[in-house]
Amino acid sequence: EIVLTQSPATLSLSPGERATLSCRASQSVSSYLAWYQQKPGQAPRLLIYDASNRATGIPARFSGSGSGTDFTLTISSLEPEDFAVYYCQQRSNYTFGPGTKVDIK
Amino acid sequence: QITLKESGPTLVKPTQTLTLTCTFSGFSLSTSGVGVGWIRQPPGKALEWLALIYWDDDKRYSPSLKSRLTITKDTSKNQVVLTMTNMDPVDTATYYCAHIGSGWWGERWDYWGQGTLVTVSS
């Protein structure tokens, strides 16, 4: 089973700063990786699919990159509504990573 | 407009079987490339994929839970049903269903239900 590892577990930043989140797979998943945002009490929201494609309605400040085993989600300039937990998911066997919490510094 | 909603018991006893229904609108599970997935999230913990079913009745299960899960679809009712046997307190979680769209563009799990909290307790 493919295992996803996310780092850091928590990222403390201020609004306007750049956020860089990492997701690493235990073996290659090609470009088959998605990123989700989840706020307390809400369902996950798809941000990025297949590594670098923004989902419908997702602001341009969110971008994804990577292939194989190493992937990155970048938020170019944090808005107040971006403080949340972010999960990656690979679609070779659909497992999720443990999440990265982005909180306000 | 695509919407999904999970329904089922909020409380089950240990060893019982859980049956959850995902009722959806705005798409058809008879359309090529469409699927529905189930995901759960224990309180304060990460997401865990459980199962999915595609338009052609292709079914996939989490290896760690495969022996306890069954997923079926009723295209005429726009529903997907997930059953999980031998429930245990560690299965307490919010259970979500999600629309899966796949095609030349890739695959997107792009619409999610609000989730339903299931508590396992005697």
Q: For the segment B44-86, what is each residue's pLDDT rounded down to a tens digit? A: 999 999 999 999 999 999 999 999 999 999 999 999 999 999 9
With 0-12 / 13-18 / 19 or more C-beta atoms within 10 angstroms meaning exposed / middle / buried, residue B15 is exposed
Question: To probe the interface with B, which of A91, A92, A93 has the most B CB atoms within 10 Å?
Answer: A91
Nearest to B77 by CA among B30, B39, B114: B30
DSSP string, A11-74: EEE-TTS-EEEEEEESS--TT-EEEEEE-TTS--EEEEETTTEEPTT--TTEEEEEETTEEEEE
* Strand segments (E) across B13-105: 18-25, 34-41, 48-54, 59-61, 69-74, 79-84, 93-103
pLDDT digits (tens, 9 = 90+) for A44-96: 999 999 999 999 999 999 999 999 999 999 999 999 999 999 999 999 889 99
A22 vs chain B: nearest CA distance in angstroms?
16
- Reply yes or no on whether the pLDDT at B20 is more than 90: yes
CA angle A84, A35, A4 (to 5 degrees): 100
How far apart (Å, rounded) are the C-alpha atoms in residues B16 and B14? 5
pLDDT at A1: 86
How far apart are the C-alpha atoms of A73 and A61, rounded to whole Å? Answer: 10
The answer to whether B122 touches B74, Cβ cutoff 8 Å, is no
Closest residue to A46, CB basis, from B47, B108, B113: B108
CB contact at 8 A, A16 and A78: yes
A38 Cα distance to chain centroid: 10
Structure tokens at B36: 């529905």
CA separation for the pair A56, A54 (Å, rounded): 7
Question: What's the whole-number mean pLDDT along residues A34-47?
Answer: 98
pLDDT at B103 over 90: no
**CB of A25 within 8 A of CB of A17?**
no
Residue B104: predicted pLDDT: 85
Q: Do B46 and A96 touch (CB under 8 A)?
A: yes
- Whether residues B108 and A34 touch (CB distance < 8 A) is answered with yes
